Structure 1
């Protein structure tokens, strides 16, 4: 059930901002996670973006998701609140996600991966298909090079490599250069300010370099291998993106769904990489419908 505007106005904080940090021991790390929403059914586990920690998930979006679902956000091995040696490959990140799911004792989970997290989620489904019921791949693409997709611009690559990207940098990466989209971006920064102001750990440069290394390796994967991996995914998949994504172009999503057995594609014409926050309620409703089908 969507949260109406009156309920939004009454809430002094987002419910997601009140979720407590919890730890669970895994083979490679002590994972930190937050859990919100009603228990029961198959939990929805979120996998984060490049250079993201759990403090960067937009709490408005989390509140919408958690209205009717058991939602779990976590930091992967060596990222943010979770200790351990940072990973530098897609398989390393997938192994960390699998460790976390198993450490929680979950027999199965639905996965929602944003950006790099979407690629990781697909690799988890390939490596351990019995753990994954359904997949949501947001602002992301398949695990490798997609022929015909535009290359990342030098500006995007430069921002990704910066250890101290500022607000304007992040706005450029996540939102189209329109007044409405930029306003949504500023709202997002306001939403995450409560968690960020608490002074939690930022992603280390070692962890960020590991992510950048993993991305570089992915760009070298031939498309025949990419296609074979996509064709091996048998779970229902919801692919979604903004048409103006300067990091992972929507074209990659269009190509991916052509090689998935059971996929739906949703595109937002006025949005970019962070469409899921710009259209938080609409996309959360789309996710809920997909998971319930």
Structure 2
């Protein structure tokens, strides 16, 4: 486990870890709802940091970071930019998973010259839903005070033997990690929920995402149906879409090597 580092920003002291090195811009990771910087799959981190510098961080009010959870996704995007400023990163590549993907779109729209390439994993444009809705059980499971293994398997992986086996392996890898930052607190959870509920989405601005965009999802995502990834790929002018079979919201931890290879190809200058 790389050491826990801190960056001072106007939004508080933000915790981060980094691994890997390479000649191109650093790849900054924006985490999911209720996730911390230590909830990224160690196998995924190892795979994507072989040829580049990868930085994962906790936004304000989350995990190991100080400050308060921002009241909206625009403010969360401002935290990302302030964190990049604190690390002296004028241009970055940006990967957002789930909620992190929503935030990453706001970042790219607010500061398009600072984002070289954008990766959106299991995300959508937000706002008014189109196509299939999340499974009715999703809201119930997400509202549990603490999500156990069965919750994670349902929310993140497809209901098949192979996908659930991949999910258990992912949970085992997380359980083996030591010196983790604190889990998301109750106030942090509520703050994120309020910010998500207040968001109007960026569907009408997807055409402004003119940088290269890689969009990916699991074909059986029960939380953010893959159709919403398809919408991004149709509206963003330089977007490529990949859907992975027999997988869900955490496809990136099931098809780790395959997706890491796509990321490497996409980010290589």
Query: Which residue number corresponds to residue 256 of structure 1?
Result: 232
- Pairing partner for 1:215 from 196, 202, 207: 196
User: Residue 249 of structure 1: CA displacement?
Assistant: 0.5
- Pairing partner for 1:157 from 132, 139, 142: 139
After TM superposition, list the pairs within 5 Å mapping 1:1-293 onto structure 2: 18-147=1-130, 149-195=131-177, 197-198=178-179, 200-218=181-199, 221=200, 226-292=202-268
Q: What count of residue pairs does the alignment treat as equivalent?
A: 269
After TM superposition, the score normalised by the length of structure 1 is 0.89
State the Cα deviation string for residues 64-102 of structure 1 (Å, max 9, x = none): 001001100000011000000112311121111111111
Unaligned regions of 5+ residues in structure 2, if any?
none
- 3-state secondary structure, aligned to 1:126: helix
In 2, the alpha carbon distance for the partners of 1:119 and 1:163 equals 23
- 3-state secondary structure, aligned to 1:133: strand
In 2, the alpha carbon distance for the partners of 1:175 and 1:227 equals 26
User: Residue 23 of structure 1: CA displacement?
Assistant: 0.8
CA contact (8 A) 1:161 1:212 kept: no
State the Cα deviation string for residues 207-256 of structure 1 (Å, max 9, x = none): 111111222223xx3xxx73321111111000000010000000001111
State the Cα deviation string for residues 263-292 of structure 1 (Å, max 9, x = none): 000000111000000000100000010111
User: Residue 154 of structure 1: CA displacement?
Assistant: 3.0
User: Residue 199 of structure 1: CA displacement?
Assistant: 5.1
Q: 1:144 to 1:50 in 2, by over 3 A?
A: same
In 2, the alpha carbon distance for the partners of 1:248 and 1:179 equals 21
- Range moving further from structure 2, 84-93 or 177-186: 84-93
User: Residue 39 of structure 1: CA displacement?
Assistant: 4.3
CA contact (8 A) 1:152 1:246 kept: yes
Q: CA RMSD in A?
A: 1.3
CA contact (8 A) 2:219 2:248 kept: yes
CA contact (8 A) 1:145 1:226 kept: no
In 1, the alpha carbon distance for the partners of 2:135 and 2:182 equals 30
